[in-house]
Structure 1
Amino acid sequence: MDISAFAGEGQLMEVIALGLALIGSGLIAGFLAGLFGIGGGAVLVPVLYQFLTVLGVDESVRMHVSVATSLGIIVPTSLRSFLAHRKRGAVDLELLKSWLIPLPLGVILASMVAAYVSGEGLKGIFAVIAFVLGVRMLLNKEHWKLGNDIPGFPVRPLCGAGIGFFSTLMGIGGGVMNNTFMTLYGRSIHQAVATSAGTGLMISVPGTIGLIWAGWGAAELPPFSAGYVNLLGLALIIPVTTFAAPFGVKVAHALPRRTMEVFFGIFLMMVAARFLLSLNGF
């Protein structure tokens, strides 16, 4: 396909520049996946949104495609990050096993809801949750705990389902929520980060499948799309995110806990600001 015809005359160089920006963002996202136990979606979603804007993709599906494609990209990134953390013995496998049913159920429900939520609604969800979690991490104190250990039924499965639901609507791997959940119940930030790589895998796989289904046959989708998932975006970003993830893992295990929390909080606040500005037309 002639990309210059699709992008519009005079926009080819801009599209190429954005393609290079996507690759650069993939490197950043992969590094963050290892560093914070996230799939990099908080970085990828706004970049993908801008990429689709330049290509003239209809606004009615632009945010949905960004979220769904981000989840698809998270699959290999989360897998490699999870395997690297598990090799170090840092993953709470018992928690992940207890979420094998409730977390994917939340993902499935979010996939069904995604077809009816507007693009502005998805951006609003992203910004609000990122802001709240960012504030919590920046102002965190040792005594800010809900308990000394992660609770059982019904709190644990409900939290797992909630993490799966909201993470899917945001196009992220759940690291931002799982990190907060685990640290509020006395777990170290390093164990939370390592375990979040696992939740990213449990969210991104069914989430990608669900959003392919939810967007199948939708109008105004860009070329090379399977439902809401854009295959061109996957091809550009997956290799570099997978390459960069282990480097983030090495840094994560070398930093003290409070440094990790501050970095993570600043990162979340930047994400929230980006989407709030977007909602206001900037």
Structure 2
Amino acid sequence: MMLEPLLIVELGILGLATGFLAGLLGIGGGMLLVPFLTYILGLQKVGPGLAVKMAIATSMATIMFTSISSVRAHHRRGAVRWDIVRRLAPGIVAGGLVASLGVFALLKGAFLAIFFGLFVSFSATQMFLDKKPAPSRQMPGTAGQLTAGGVIGFLSGLVGAGGGFVSVPFMTWCNVAIHNAVATSAALGFPIALANVVGYAIGGQSVADLPPASFGYIWLPALAVIATCSVLTAPLGARAAHQLPVKQLKRIFASLLFGLAAYMLWKGVAAL
């Protein structure tokens, strides 16, 4: 399927922006991608419910590329807590497969859009209020982190984001420094994306009315353009993340999420 030149430019700009945000905030760019891709797919005559599902799946697929690019930049600065990555990752993979292979296909696109909006609003509120954790609170043990990883992977699979909207607040709540939390979230983006993309590709094989050049729920032309552009700016975002003060970083994160949550709530309600 050949894309119109203007659409290629739009997807390219979206890729540049999401790559930068992936590096800056450790959110994988999904919170920005899902609303915009939902809108773009609607313009391609894809039905509202299917558009939301394809936006979520395509967004998640791009995170495989942006996470690698941004985590390399964070790792060079010694910011990634690999001990946390090792304990959260197994649960993340299991939770992601359950969401993308099973629950995702059963839910209507309108309900997924509303869930996206509500959950992101909650995450943004927690981050914006910037509540201080108890000084004695630490990351839970191995079993606790496996469970937390399962929840992060499952929720990520339902909303098409790299998990930063859950993992960053969770880690800062456990007294992990914000810059370490953002860097570690970027590293977690790859196992989250890989597990969910496998599920979206398999679960969408029998779906009717998919646009040309789709692989399950994944829209390959958009994936190619966005991923190519996003890997260019993810390291720039990672660099900026180490130069911004903690409170400003949290406020940027929260303000972005509020606006996108409102849009997806509107899309979900309109599609009911």
Report the equivalent of 1:234. Answer: 223
Map 1:63-212 onto structure 2 (within 5 A). Answer: 63-111=52-100, 112-142=102-132, 144-145=133-134, 148-212=137-201
Report the equivalent of 1:11. Answer: none
In structure 2, the CA distance between the partners of 1:221 and 1:262, relative to structure 1 (3 Å rule), is same
Q: 1:218, CA displacement in angstroms?
A: 1.1
The answer to whether the 8 Å contact 2:87/2:142 transfers is no
Find the aligned partners of 2:175 and 2:85 in 1 and give their Cα distance: 17
Counterpart check, 1:273 vs 2:262: yes
Q: 1:100, CA displacement in angstroms?
A: 3.0
Which residue of the other structure, out of 238, 243, 246, is the alignment partner of 1:254? 243
**Could you list the per-position Cα deviations for residues 216-245 of structure 1 after superposition, in whole angstroms to 9, with x for gaps in the alignment?**
121111100111111111111111100010
Find the aligned partners of 1:225 and 1:55 in 2 and give their Cα distance: 13
The answer to whether the 8 Å contact 1:75/1:205 transfers is yes
Gaps of at least 5 residues in structure 2 are none
TM-score normalized by the length of structure 2: 0.94
**Could you list the per-position Cα deviations for residues 144-192 of structure 1 after superposition, in whole angstroms to 9, with x for gaps in the alignment?**
3495210114432211100000011110000111100000011111000
Gaps of at least 5 residues in structure 1 are 4-14
The answer to whether the 8 Å contact 1:145/1:183 transfers is no
For CA contacts below 8 A with separation 6 or more, give which structure has more relative contact order: 2
Number of equivalent positions: 270
Report the equivalent of 1:46. Answer: 35
In structure 2, the CA distance between the partners of 1:281 and 1:183, relative to structure 1 (3 Å rule), is same
SS of corresponding position for 2:244:
coil
Q: What root-mean-square deviation, in Å, do the aligned CA atoms of Structure 1 and Structure 2 show?
A: 1.7
Find the aligned partners of 1:146 and 1:181 in 2 and give their Cα distance: 15
**Could you list the per-position Cα deviations for residues 65-120 of structure 1 after superposition, in whole angstroms to 9, with x for gaps in the alignment?**
11111111111101111111111111110111112321100000001211101101
The answer to whether the 8 Å contact 2:88/2:148 transfers is no
Moved over 6 A (4+): none
Which residue of the other structure, out of 3, 6, 11, is the alignment partner of 1:22? 11
In structure 2, the CA distance between the partners of 1:149 and 1:25, relative to structure 1 (3 Å rule), is same
Find the aligned partners of 1:16 and 1:210 in 2 and give their Cα distance: 31
User: Higher mean Cα deviation, 51-60 or 78-87?
Assistant: 51-60
The answer to whether the 8 Å contact 1:81/1:249 transfers is yes
Amino acid paired to 1:92: R
Q: Sequence identity of aligned pairs in percent?
A: 36
